[in-house]
Structure 1
Amino acid sequence: MASSSQAPNRLDYLDAARALALLLGIFFHASLSFMPMFIGWAVMDISTSNIVAIFVMINHSFRMELFFLIAGFFSHMTLQKKGMKAFISSRLIRIGLPLVVGWFLLRPMLVSGWVMGAESMRGDVNVLNGLSQGIASFKELPNGFLIGTHLWFLYYLLLIPALVLVVCSMVSLNDKVKHTLSASMDHVVTWLCRSSFAPFLVMLPIASCLWFMSHWGMDTPDKSLIPNWPVLFIYTGFFSFGWLMNRQRQPLADFATITWGKVFLCLLASILSVLLTNYQSQLGHPDYLLLKIGFTLSYALMMWTLVSLFIGLCFRFFNRLNHTMRYLADASYWLYLIHLPIVIWLQIAFAEVDIHWAFKLLSICMITVMLSLILYELFVRSTVIGAVLNGRKKSRVLISALKSSA
């Protein structure tokens, strides 16, 4: 393998972290039909497991926070390299365009998945009826723009950088304020990345936001263009933290350092979160408020330590050029955009099949990733779509490898 010095323009371990975070999203959505209780998902499988519920809760606690932290880091890097005008243009093209086009292309398939999922639980699936209802859902516009899709993350990827830029612009109006505040923030970020006490301090504002969620844990803000304020605060916090860490690279290395103390805190917080979540529906419990406080604190601590440890693991294993991981990093944006209708349709196909949930879950994930990669190789990577998603067209890899082997 080549060393990281051979690829000076890319931080391979952060590319890997971003790619794996998006792949975790595919596993997350694929798991939802195997939850042991009905959660309002498109379909509920006949084979379920409490293990899936634990995986879903832990996965959902840090995956998008990790993604927004990395997005903030790379956003600041792009702004410094290309300037404000090019940065805004790239955000509109690479995020705004996929949000609008992706919504119109994916919504009929996603709505049809919910229609067919409901039909499958009654023992009768009509694909044509599902698709027709999916197309008919366009009549609801402009209502329900984000509802029924996973593309809310693109909306927040537009909204949060805009908020950060507004704050930065306001601070820049006064040079003295800018210098003082910048120096102070650099010291705060450095301390947060180095201090072993930082997780306990950070978990307080995170837990405060979690308190106002509609359920125990992180809400999914896919119901309206009006921001979900607690979610917005948390994602903006992680985005800003990544943004500020890019100003000085050493804090990121300190933040991602793996220590036994951090591992212990992560395990303890995860176990407490899993145990306490069982009390979520027990509104009449005499200690309900104390239990919720305990959950929000442990969940916040789990969130922070998992983000840190995940980046640390990626640094340890992917801090060098790895062609497979780089290809996945390039493809991951496309994979996440396209995966949800494929996942839901496969969940419906497997729902009534009498085999173990683990086999079905693994099959759904493998088929989804393989099919998405084939589509990426044939129709995205070397086309204008690839230029929009990845910044430029790239040569096909899998097809070239097959031709050379033949």
Structure 2
Amino acid sequence: MMPEMTTASKRKLAAAVDTTCDLMEAGESIEEAAARAALEHGVPPAHLKPLCYAANTAAMEGQRQHNDAVMAKAAAVDVARPENVAEIMVRRTRTHKARKKEAAADPWQAPPTPDLSFVLCNVEAYAAPTAERPAEPVPRTKTAAALARRVTDESLAAVDRFRKTATDLIASLGDFHGPSLADLRRDGEVLFGPPATTVLNWVEPMVAPARRKEAARHASTRTRSYTLLKEAVAQYADLELLARAERSARALTAEAAVLDGPITREGDRTLAVMFGVKSASDLAKWVGINAMMERSKVEDPLKTPGDVESYRDQTDTMEHEAQLRNIRLAATLGGLMSHDEILRHAPPSEVTAHYNELAKTSPIALQDQGTMRALLRKRLMAGKNAIDPYEVAQMRDLEKTYAPAPNKPQGNAVA
């Protein structure tokens, strides 16, 4: 049973935990870091167990917070065991020749008291308070191209994992002492679902034809084949998810020129900030909106990235006015699809389809956010024919009233 800790012992233990985390971040193994920190702060052997518990918790929590991939978060973590830390401390302890044999014989013996000169030289280090760690890691700035590269790398890694497992499965099926392909077909779908049949159809042409002959069965090989099939089915499911993510990555790469620069940079006035893009899911929604929206009067209004202020200084031509109007419409539609209580729960493709149909009838009326929200809500809740002909006629009259007048010919025009 661990003795009751005094206030001084608690401070030593807290300082040792901080030093252990710093050494682990510098690349030292967890047990070596714990032993070195315990010697540096004079932690007794009876307090090694809580020190190891704290170091193990920090290692697992750090891996969970600093990794985005699910497989990386769930990977095995090296843990510190008190007995191993004590042995390392004994090896590192500098004792006199007369006490070396005794220290090596008893790994749980407390390290000797440091020399007085050592304490005097490091009095500032002992007296200095420990630096406060930030509550959360500072997020790194991400761009659309960086997000696309990360999704693509994860997809390629998933393909490599699946191919390796499939290769091992093919090798196990080539063993005459293992189960046959028919056995796996019979049991695989029952155990692992329909994806098992898909995986077996993929590996069947690569299995040696001679393997289909009847032969003796071996228990260990049979178990390995079923285990490999289970792993292949799980990795095949991840492969399908990442295949869809890779298609999104290609869209992100195409839009990287428009979203050039940090997404969450303070003071950035790019189009991404107009949409409030703060995560990969919001960015994918933004890309989907721009991909599905129809630009009627301008071929490619978002071809030139930059601040919206630059467009306001160039409103002397109809082209720039149309560009600015399309940008505002895209921003308004994106804000409604992200924050409106009804529109944000509807499929984006359905919302943009209704928007495109309304834009053909009354593009000027849609410039008002309240009008756009009301019309889209009405069509989503009551169907495509929710707007009666009288309302359509009113919107068309409004378009004729507020439409820009055509340019008049200058000088003496010849009919």
* TM bucket, shorter chain: under 0.3
TM-score (norm 2): 0.22
* Larger gyration radius, structure 1 or structure 2: 2
Structure (1/2) with the larger helix percentage: 1
TM-score (norm 1): 0.22
